[in-house]
Structures are given as C-alpha cells and as structure tokens.
Amino acid sequence: MFIINNKNYKGVINMNIKKIGLTALAASLVSVSAHAGSVSVAGGASMNTEGYSGENLNAGTTFSMGNQLTFTGSGELDNGMNVSISFVLDQNDDSTAASAAYTGGPFDSHSVKVSSDSLGTLTLAGEGGSSAASSIDGTAAGDIWDTFDGARGAVTAVAVSDSGPGDNSLFYTLPSIMDGLDVNLSYQPQGSGRESATGMGVTYTGMEGLTVKYATTDEAGTTVALSGDQTVWNVSYVYGPVTATVSESEFDVGTSTSDQTTSSYALSYTVSDEISVTYGEETIEKGGSTTDAEYSAISASYTAGGMTISMAIKEAENVAHGTATNQDFEYWSLGASFAF
C-alpha cells in the first residue's frame, strides 16, 4: 500500500496495471489474427420473373429475388495445416429451431474444414453437406424436375430421392493419388432409429476434355424397408464449343415402389465467351410404375462481368407417373443474377 499526502493510491495503481496488461494482450491477439488468418465475404443476388401453365394450373407471372452472402474465415496453423470456417446467410432458404428468432431462417449452410497436402481435407458440415453420391447427383440437364416438384394444381409432382446425410456429417477428400484422380468419402453418424451410413466417390479428369464421376452411398433409413443405397455416375466431354453430358442416379431401397432411376442428357453450345445455349432432357422411372415422368428444357445465358442474364423454357409430362392431361405443364423464366 502506498500513502501519499494521506491518500490511498492502491486501487489506482492496480487499475493501471490491469489496463496495461489487457492492452498488451489485445494487441498481441490482433497481431496474431492479422498474421495467421483472413476473413472474406462473397455475395450473390438475382431478380427473376417466371410463369407456369397447364390444365387446372394457369399461374400468372410472378417476381422473385435471391440474396445470399457467404462468410469464410481461414488461416494456416504453425504445423502447416489449413483451417477454415464457412457459413451462408440466405433469407428464407430454410427455417430451423436455432434460427427461429429470424423469420425465414437466414443462417444456412455452415462447415469447418481442416486440410493439408499430405493428409487431404476433412470437413464437418453442420448443415448443408452432401454425401459422396448426392454431391454429384445433379442431372446432366440441371435438375429440370426441381422446377415442377410438389403441388401443381390438382396433382403432386414427383421429386427425386437421394442419400443426403443431413446435419453434422463428415466428409473426407484423400490427398492426390495420381494426376487427374480424386477420391472422396462421406460418413453419416448413427441416429435415432437408424444405423450410420458411408459413401465413396471418384472423379477422373486425366484426359483432356473428359470428366468422369462415380459414387455410391448408403441410404440409412429408420427401417429395413426404407434403407438401401444410391449409385450415381456422370460423364461429360468437351469438344471445341460443344459440351455433351450424360448422367444417371439409381436410388434403391427395401420398398420397391420407392425405387427411382433418374437419367438425363444435355448438349451445350458456347456461341462466344459471353453467350451459351443448352438443351437437355430428364426421365424419372419409379418402381412399380409403367409411366415415366419426362422433362425437357432449353436455356440460354449472356454473361458480362459479374452479371448473367438467363432465360429458360421447360416442359414436363406425367409428373406424378400418370397419363392424365393435368399432369403436363409448361414453364418459362427470365432472370438477371449478380456476383460480387
């Protein structure tokens, strides 16, 4: 204790010491953060107009917008490993209990990734992860069915099933084995009433213009009847301005009427660096049904800088695996998207 002019300065001295210590600590933390890591934000936005037509469904023109921000933080550890965290803000993408305080659930896909050249890449996806199969099961034609699935007038259009693992799943990409060959694994942990599920996928790009993808993943259902697997393959070849792509996804579970085979092809022509045109078709076969759901689409896009203007005309037939005329629809869209 110090007494100067009959005044007690103990508290003042202690306070100053604490301030000095905290200031030094804060400075050191800022210094380490600035040296070891970085934070970036990427965004996307769009303005769209679209319309549907068909028997018992004559939806008028509608307008919509898209808005999304992706936040990424990354850094290199002293042992040479790279660590990154990512999450997406996307209004009205989905709503969860964790984001119930925000209408539309803006807190979307998020993950933590650890990687190195010698060990490969390990990713824990809290939400928004894909299995080895579902990560490549987008059809060659671009999932035309997704435009029509759900309630459409008096019918409910079919949706494609997949082996998406849900939340809190692990994904691992092996280090390079050979030029042009990538191998990845997925693991869905055991859950209530179901076993764990594993998956494996390979991608080959060792021949100029050719890309071949193959993957298989367990479908972990809550019963034997709902359990099985998904197998996917996708082949694309680029020759000059033309790109040809074919794909197939087989979803096979204990209940045969839930089995699906989704096949697709697409041809794209690059008119110039800015303009491209694509035509594609999809077919969904369902176990126990003799009628396939069929889709076709033609689309075109113009890109300049970070802006893309696109248009599409799509048609769907037998969307509920039936032949009634109210299962046939048409769709058109026009939109502008911006990346920044």
Alpha-carbon 171 to chain mean position: 14
Q: What angle do CA 143, 270, 301 make, to 5 degrees?
A: 55
User: How is residue 290 annotated by DSSP?
Assistant: S
Whole-angstrom Cα distance, residue 137 to residue 131? Answer: 10
Out of 98-102, 158-162, 237-241, 302-306, least confident range: 98-102
User: How is residue 144 annotated by DSSP?
Assistant: G
**CB neighbours (10 Å) of residue 171?**
23
Residues 339/46, Cβ–Cβ less than 8 Å: no
Q: What is the mean pLDDT of residues 42-59?
A: 86
More confident residue, 320 or 92: 320
Out of 120-134, 207-221, 248-262, 272-286, least confident range: 120-134
- For the stretch 223-259, pLDDT in tens is 888 899 999 999 999 999 999 999 999 999 999 899 9
pLDDT > 70? residue 206: yes
Among 58-67, 95-104, 183-192, 307-316, the range of highest mean pLDDT: 307-316
More confident residue, 238 or 62: 238
Mean pLDDT of the chain: 85
What is the structure's pLDDT at 105?
A: 54
For the chain, the straight-line distance linking the first and the last C-alpha, in angstroms and rounded, comes to 60
**Residues with Cβ within 8 Å of residue 330, at least 6 apart in sequence:** 52, 53, 54, 313, 314, 315, 316
What is the structure's pLDDT at 278?
A: 98
Residues 143/278, Cβ–Cβ less than 8 Å: no
Domains (range + CATH), the chain: 43-339 (2.40.160.10)
Residues 138/146, Cβ–Cβ less than 8 Å: no
State the chain's maximal CA–CA distance in angstroms: 101
Whole-angstrom Cα distance, residue 85 to residue 187? Answer: 19
Whole-angstrom Cα distance, residue 303 to residue 274? Answer: 5
- For the stretch 79-126, pLDDT in tens is 889 999 998 888 655 544 444 444 445 667 889 999 998 899 999 998
How is residue 179 written in tokens?
Answer: 């030029």
Out of 85-94, 128-137, 193-202, least confident range: 85-94
How is residue 54 written in tokens?
Answer: 């068909």
In this structure, which amino acid lies at residue 83? V
Q: What is the mean pLDDT of residues 309-329?
A: 95
Of the candidates 223, 32, 247, the one whose C-alpha atom is nearest the C-alpha of residue 133 is: 247
Whole-angstrom Cα distance, residue 178 to residue 188? Answer: 27
What are 309's strand-pairing partners?
302, 336
Burial class (CB in 10 A: 0-12, 13-18, 19+), 238: middle
Q: What is the mean pLDDT of residues 140-169?
A: 89
What is the structure's pLDDT at 55?
A: 76
Q: What is the mean pLDDT of residues 159-186?
A: 89
